[in-house]
């Protein structure tokens, strides 16, 4: 049971931990929020979750039509992202990435989605196809094999970045995507990052991100560029991500490949901690970011047993943290099997309002009692305050660390999670509202507590009161 209340817990040491401003500005390709929608990979990689699903255009449309018919589009869920397997492993006469025509007609798919107000996303990886090395790049006399060599283990060669012809190839691919009506590119297997990938990737393919960004710019069509996975967070590489892409994956895939359920709560704990590891690098001074994190697909729309978590509280906690992080809100669940709880989670108007706020003011960790940013089982986060003093706060009991949470403790049962204003780095009187219960909790001037069971969390909106 969740019982918010006032508390007088002292936190003298927290007052020495300043809360710097952290905001997100427009992304390189002109977006002001993270993507929302659906991606096919969860069902592709976990086919037992929906045995009726076939990876083809008809079934993709069936899934994505729900975004429109269920009204999710009105809450910003517009992306319909087709993942690995839509394309052939050889290109057209100029080596451009093309669809497997036995499965997809991309122009027709784009037209279908656009009529409903939805957007088409496609999946790509760095490199040209090995089968295309003798083909000439469109508009040049340069063969792919003269500027793309070796074998990355994914049926693709490795670009000689900077060589004449490489940018032209990317331009030709994105121009073709623009002709089809593509709105969203997911660029996978980028390094530094993509660990334990089972391939033979070059140590650094970051210039693929630059090439795709440049290609989008010259195409004249606005497209998102999302890059993955578990990418390097150092200043040099992050500067490349932030200057060229809309989002970058902070973790690896969180789905259970080949399993009968989509994910595990243990993996969710890992994903939350990977976001924490990322955002603490941007808490030491006032900072404006121009990229969003991607914590991977959300598995919250289906019954808990199918999504793979233990209970509905954990589904709410997933949504709460993806919202607070300003992560992509890309559903990976089976949209043809949304239950009542799932629908209430993904369509809660107050929660979506917090997501809109977090798009400018993402959450940072503030440990109860210290205001520090370590991984903890009993944790607090704050997004904002913005220029008018508004903020949101998350209190969480992640339950015992299942091996990937980063905190290593195993407190069981209901726990009291208490945070003071000194812990959070704020001061003043705030009207506090419980978002998920839609309930005003009252006015608080120094602290907040909640009794939270394992996997439970409180998402609270803070509105300043008085002077």
Domains of the chain are: 12-19+366-465 (2.60.40.1180), 27-360 (3.20.20.70)
What mean pLDDT value characterizes the chain?
A: 96
Overall average pLDDT of the 451-463 stretch:
98
Torsion-angle region of 26 (φ positive above 0: left; ψ -120 to 50: alpha; else: beta): beta
304, two tokens: 């808990």
- Asked whether the predicted pLDDT for residue 6 surpasses 70, the reply is no
Catalytic residue among 83, 237, 251, 253: 253
pLDDT digits 0-9 by tens, 260-316: 999 999 999 999 999 999 999 999 999 999 999 999 999 999 999 999 999 999 999
Overall average pLDDT of the 196-214 stretch:
95
Q: Buried b / exposed e across 227-249, counting CB within 10 Å, b at 16+?
A: bbbbbbbeeebbebbeebbbbbb
pLDDT band at 197 (very low <50, low <70, confident <90, very high): confident
pLDDT digits 0-9 by tens, 369-391: 999 999 999 999 999 999 999 99
Provide CB contacts within 8 A for 283, sequence distance 6+: 20, 22, 364, 373
pLDDT of residue 466: 85
- Asked whether the predicted pLDDT for residue 12 surpasses 90, the reply is no
Helix/strand/coil for 15 = helix
Element (H, E) at 25: none
Catalytic residue among 45, 132, 183, 188: 188
pLDDT digits 0-9 by tens, 129-175: 999 999 999 999 999 999 999 999 999 999 999 999 999 999 999 99
Number of C-beta neighbours around residue 438 at 10 A:
11
pLDDT of residue 13: 63
- pLDDT above 90 covers a percentage of the chain that reads 96
Q: Is 234 annotated as catalytic?
A: no
Q: How far apart are CA 28 and CA 242, in angstroms?
A: 7
- Asked whether the predicted pLDDT for residue 8 surpasses 80, the reply is no
- Asked whether the predicted pLDDT for residue 10 surpasses 60, the reply is no
The CA-atom distances, in angstroms, between 110 and each of 42, 77, 170 are: 21, 16, 20
pLDDT of residue 48: 94
Q: Is 253 annotated as catalytic?
A: yes
pLDDT band at 188 (very low <50, low <70, confident <90, very high): very high
pLDDT of residue 5: 43
Provide CB contacts within 8 A for 127, sequence distance 6+: 148, 152, 154, 156, 157, 158, 159, 205, 208
pLDDT of residue 265: 97
pLDDT of residue 145: 98
pLDDT of residue 3: 42
Sheet strands side by side (includes 378-383): 363-365, 378-383, 391-397, 457-465, 429-434, 439-444
Overall average pLDDT of the 57-72 stretch:
98
Candidates 167, 184, 248, 188; CA nearest to 221 is 184
Number of C-beta neighbours around residue 51 at 10 A:
7
pLDDT band at 467 (very low <50, low <70, confident <90, very high): low
- For 122, phi then psi, to 5°, come to -130, 160
pLDDT of residue 196: 86
């Amino acid at each position: 049971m969740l019982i918010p209340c006032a508390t007088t817990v002292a936190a003298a040491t927290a007052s020495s931990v300043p809360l710097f401003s952290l905001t997100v500005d427009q992304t390189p390709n002109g977006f002001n929020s993270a993507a929302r929608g659906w991606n096919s990979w969860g069902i592709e990689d976990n086919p037992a979750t929906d045995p009726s699903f076939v990876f083809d255009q008809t079934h993709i449309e069936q899934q994505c039509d729900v975004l429109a018919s269920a009204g999710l589009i009105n809450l910003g869920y517009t992306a319909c992202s087709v993942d690995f397997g839509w394309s052939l492993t050889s290109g057209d006469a100029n080596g451009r990435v093309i669809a497997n025509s036995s499965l997809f007609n991309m122009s027709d798919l784009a037209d279908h989605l656009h009529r409903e107000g939805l957007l088409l996303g496609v999946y790509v990886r760095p490199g040209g196809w090995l089968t295309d090395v003798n083909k000439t790049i469109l508009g040049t006399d340069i063969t792919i094999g003269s500027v793309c060599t070796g074998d990355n283990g994914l049926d693709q060669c490795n670009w000689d970045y900077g060589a004449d012809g490489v940018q032209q190839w990317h331009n030709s691919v994105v121009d073709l995507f623009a002709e089809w009506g593509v709105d969203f590119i997911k660029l996978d297997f980028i390094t530094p990052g993509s660990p334990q990938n089972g391939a033979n990737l070059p140590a650094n393919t970051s210039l693929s991100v630059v090439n795709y960004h440049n290609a989008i710019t010259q195409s004249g069509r606005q497209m998102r560029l999302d890059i993955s996975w578990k990418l390097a967070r150092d200043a040099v590489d992050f500067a490349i991500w932030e200057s060229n892409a809309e989002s970058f994956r902070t973790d690896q895939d969180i789905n259970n490949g080949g399993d009968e359920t989509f994910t595990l709560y243990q993996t969710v704990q890992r994903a939350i901690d990977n976001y924490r590891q990322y955002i603490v690098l941007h808490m030491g001074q006032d900072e404006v970011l121009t990229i969003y994190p991607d914590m991977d697909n959300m598995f919250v729309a289906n019954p808990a047993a199918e999504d793979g978590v233990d209970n509905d509280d954990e589904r709410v906690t997933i949504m709460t943290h993806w919202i607070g992080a300003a992560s992509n809100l890309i559903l990976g669940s089976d949209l043809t099997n949304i239950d009542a709880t799932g629908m209430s989670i993904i369509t809660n108007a107050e929660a979506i309002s917090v997501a809109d706020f977090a798009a400018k003011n993402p959450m940072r960790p503030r440990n109860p009692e210290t205001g520090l940013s370590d991984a903890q089982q009993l944790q607090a986060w704050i997004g904002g305050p913005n220029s008018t003093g508004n903020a949101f706060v998350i209190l969480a009991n992640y339950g015992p660390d299942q091996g990937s949470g980063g905190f290593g403790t195993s407190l069981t049962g209901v726990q009291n999670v208490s945070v003071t204003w000194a812990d959070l780095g704020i001061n003043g009187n705030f009207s506090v509202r419980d978002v998920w219960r839609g309930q005003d909790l009252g006015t608080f001037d120094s602290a907040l507590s909640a009794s939270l069971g394992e996997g439970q969390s409180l998402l609270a909106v803070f509105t300043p009161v008085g002077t």
